[in-house]
């Protein structure tokens, strides 16, 4: 079905920039980049998929069934996203909050042209109909300049709710927790701008430069753009092994190495941050146990500190063996939405989230990734991300955090501002 051809390049980082520049001509683009992180367990350093041959876009109604049919029928590489609001397909829930972005709730495509980067080796996998273009495309890509332009108009974002409203909503969330309705819930707030005109790929590169996360993504599907500096893996399948790496626990970085290490050490032993993480690990284990071989769900890593350019994070790793006969899409359905973006108990948390949040999450706290032809997959969690609809000129990003009985509203607000820092910096500096 595909023609594969390998090339070697002298400077893989330069070639990656050239790939991104070359991709700008296409209507459908997904760029996934691990930024060479040691903690990654990805199969490739970077992947570029462009130019749809087939595609599926739909709302939440029977979305996972439609995706399952598309993935099995195509039996090829497919790339795309799952929005948070597919929760309404998985459970008897709804999404009635304001939506300025109007993204489809699920969108996947089968690329005509696929380019895989691993070290200095570049693999081109093209559908037969365009495989005569491989050599010319490789030469064209290698001849491009590797510098990105810089926009000169800053974007001023506005919070959907004020700080005072945020603090009141956290108090209400805490009342639910103290009543025993939930143990933990992820509460998010939106920042937005209207009448925005920008080059989303330029913004992606600026954000990636200051964040360099292991699950970065740039997506353009028609007029729908995602600029993601995500540090979090949602779920990966390789063979029958499932891996998820939930993040709960955030602390700032310091330019002073001694202070920075102290901050990381304090995060590692902070009882509030640890309890957040452990509750989500338990939720994830429960989700995976429904589709895993008995006794195969394991916590390989619990509450380990990983340091990124902007923040320190507490990350855990949970693995499981997928039971025989369970289709790949069912592994996603059984664990969606990811526990780190919902809470525990999961359904109760999602209901309360819907009541208290003012904006429809959409692609934020959903997932972006791919299926390979053999049914393996890898998806990130869409956080630390900017969403942009170039048709209605609406731009948005959201930030949030886990609320537990130990949460202090003012501290939760400050954590949100810390998570928003890189995105605000990029938008104000363009």
Which DSSP symbol is given to 322?
B
In sequence order, which residues have a C-beta less than 8 Å from that of residue 79 and are 6 or more positions away? 30, 49, 108, 109, 111, 369, 370
Q: Measured over all CA atoms, what is the biggest interatomic distance in the chain, rounded to whole angstroms?
A: 65
The SS3 of residue 391 is: coil
Give catalytic status of residue 248 as yes or no: yes
End-to-end CA distance of the chain: 42
In sequence order, which residues have a C-beta less than 8 Å from that of residue 331 and are 6 or more positions away? 235, 237, 242, 291, 322
Provide the token pair at 393.
């000129």
In the set 232, 276, 354, 412, the catalytic residue is 232
Cα–Cα distances (Å) from 191 to 83, 184, 329, 358, 407, in that order, read 18, 23, 32, 11, 22
Give the DSSP per-residue string, 160-224. Answer: SS-HHHHHHHHHHHHHHHHHTS-SEEEEEEEEEESS----HHHHHHHHHHHH--TEEEEEEETTE
Q: What share of the chain is helix, strand, coil (3-state, %, to 5)?
A: 35, 35, 30
Consecutive H or E run containing 33: strand 28-33
Q: Which residue has the tokens 């495309």?
A: 137
Does residue 262 contact residue 274 with C-beta atoms inside 8 Å? no
Give catalytic status of residue 184 as yes or no: no
Give the DSSP per-residue string, 335-360. Answer: HPSPGGGSEESHHHHHHHHHHH-SB-
What whole-number distance in Å separates Cα of residue 326 and Cα of residue 289? Answer: 13
In sequence order, which residues have a C-beta less than 8 Å from that of residue 119 and are 6 or more positions away? 12, 45
Give bridge partners of residue 400 from the DSSP assignment. Answer: 188
What whole-number distance in Å separates Cα of residue 47 and Cα of residue 409? Answer: 40
Q: Which residue has the tokens 């559908």?
A: 127
Give bridge partners of residue 242 from the DSSP assignment. Answer: 237, 320
In the set 248, 346, 351, 419, the catalytic residue is 248
Catalytic residue numbers, as ranges: 232, 248
């Amino acid at each position: 079905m595909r023609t594969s051809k390998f090339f070697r390049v002298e400077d893989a980082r330069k070639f990656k920039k050239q790939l991104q520049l070359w991709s700008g001509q296409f209507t459908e683009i997904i760029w996934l980049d691990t930024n060479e992180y040691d903690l990654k367990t990805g199969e490739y350093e970077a992947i570029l998929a462009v130019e749809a041959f087939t595609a599926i876009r739909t709302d939440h109604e029977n979305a996972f069934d439609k995706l399952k049919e598309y993935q099995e029928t195509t039996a090829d590489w497919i790339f795309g996203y799952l929005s948070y609001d597919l929760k309404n397909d998985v459970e008897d829930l709804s999404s009635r909050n304001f939506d300025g972005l109007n993204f489809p709730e699920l969108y996947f495509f089968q690329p005509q042209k696929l380019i895989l980067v691993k070290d200095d080796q570049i693999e081109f996998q093209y559908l037969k109909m365009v495989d005569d273009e491989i050599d010319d495309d490789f030469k064209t890509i290698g001849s491009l300049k590797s510098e990105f332009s810089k926009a000169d108009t800053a974007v001023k974002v506005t919070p959907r709710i004020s700080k005072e409203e945020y603090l009141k909503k956290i108090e209400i969330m805490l009342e639910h927790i103290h009543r025993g309705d939930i143990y933990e819930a992820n509460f998010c707030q939106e920042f937005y701008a209207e009448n925005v005109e920008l080059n989303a790929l330029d913004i992606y590169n600026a954000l990636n430069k200051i964040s360099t996360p292991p699950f970065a993504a740039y997506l353009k599907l028609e007029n729908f753009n995602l600029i993601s500096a995500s540090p979090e893996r949602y779920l990966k399948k390789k063979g029958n092994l499932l891996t998820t790496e939930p993040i709960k626990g955030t602390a700032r970085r310091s330019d002073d190495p001694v202070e920075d290490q102290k901050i990381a050490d304090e995060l590692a032993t902070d009882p509030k941050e640890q309890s957040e993480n452990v509750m989500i690990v338990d939720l994830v284990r429960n989700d995976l146990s429904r589709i895993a071989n008995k006794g195969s769900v394991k916590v390989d890593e619990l509450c380990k500190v990983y340091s990124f350019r902007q923040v320190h994070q507490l990350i855990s790793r949970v693995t499981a063996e997928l039971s025989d006969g369970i289709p790949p899409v069912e592994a996603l359905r059984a664990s969606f939405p990811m526990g780190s973006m919902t809470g525990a108990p999961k359904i109760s948390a999602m209901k309360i989230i819907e009541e208290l949040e003012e904006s429809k999450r959409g692609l934020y706290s959903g997932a972006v990734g791919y299926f390979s032809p053999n049914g393996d997959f890898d998806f990130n969690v869409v956080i630390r991300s900017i969403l942009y609809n170039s048709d209605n000129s609406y731009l948005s990003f959201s930030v949030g955090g886990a609320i537990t009985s130990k949460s202090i509203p003012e501290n939760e607000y400050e954590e949100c501002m810390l998570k928003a820092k890189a995105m605000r910096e990029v938008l104000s500096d363009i």
